[in-house]
Amino acid sequence: MNYRLTTYFLFMTTAVFAGLYFTSSEEELTVNETVFVSDQIISSPSVETSETKPQSITPSEATSPKSETKVIIKEVSSHPEYDSDKLDHMAFMYENFLKSHTARIRRSYPLLFERLSLDDASQEELTRLLSEKEMVNWMRGHNMNDDEKLELAERKEQMKEKFNQQIADLLGSETDIFQDYEDKKQQYQQISGLKGKMEESGDFSIAAQDELASLMQESRSIHKEMFGDEWKTLRESKEKADEFLAVTSERYKQLTESADFLNEAQKEVFGGYLNKVYQRFERAAKNYDRRRKSKKD
């Protein structure tokens, strides 16, 4: 195996091994209310959680540090530049990077854990698996030749599949709930930002959140089919931008009206959010139009 690919793989497989060297307490993290730009709409059926006993992971079910160590030793033995000091340094950097990335993962899945019947230990394990899986995407083939990039791509798919299996093993019968949530992750991020105001206006149950996420995802998919990248459409020409804004305005009205499972106050909150998104598109269209005119002058 070439050294560059070994370096990538070694970096991504040291997380568990790092636990043998370093211990730390996680800081309590909170998700701040955020308004996301893209509106999303959903088509899949709602998923309701069933009352089940909390699941927990046992040492036998968790990833074995020994098995990870064997992989590391195998890779390091083929790379003469990796001694124990470098391995310790890499493990330290990876562990700290993983901790900072955990906060990002929790922002990406703000409403997930209340849909799953997991105890604290299992929630931490799921967060770790999601973090490590997403970090695989950050493995880039810079300065690699075509064969090396192909080998790296294959290795990344293998690693993702491993994490997918570990997540499925951890969640068991609730894997479908997780998958449905992940398919609508962007919509749930937006709903999370609206949740506080929605609850001030009445009951905003998990079932209502799921239905709203599905509605948003469905509308979003139609929007993508018509315009593709909205920002590219707005930059293309004034005619395209005007068409985009007209269709988007009408779509938002229909979207708000279709959310008949919300009370009137909640519809106002949701409609107000969509109006803010529309206003941002509108401002962008005007800015792009000014730029086009200035280039002609």
Q: How far apart are CA 200 and CA 33, in angstroms?
A: 14
Q: How far apart are CA 52 and CA 93, in angstroms?
A: 38
Q: What is the mean pLDDT of residues 43-49?
A: 35
Which of 131, 156, 181 is the last residue before a domain boundary? 181
Secondary structure percentages of the chain, helix, strand, coil, to 5? 70, 0, 30
Which of 126, 154, 181 is the last residue before a domain boundary? 181
Domain that holds residue 87: 3-23+49-181
Residue 149: pLDDT band by 50, 70, 90 thresholds?
confident
Predicted TM-score (pTM) of this structure: 0.65
> What value does the mean pLDDT of the chain take?
76
Encode pLDDT of 170-182 as tens digits: 999 999 999 999 8
Same domain? For 160 and 249 the reply is no
Same domain? For 17 and 154 the reply is yes
Same domain? For 138 and 230 the reply is no
Distances in Å between the Cα of 47 and the Cα atoms of 178, 182, 184, 205 are 10, 12, 11, 12
Q: HSE of 190 in the Cβ direction (CA atoms, 13 Å)? A: 26
DSSP state, 118?
A: B
Same domain? For 238 and 97 the reply is no
pLDDT at position 29: 30
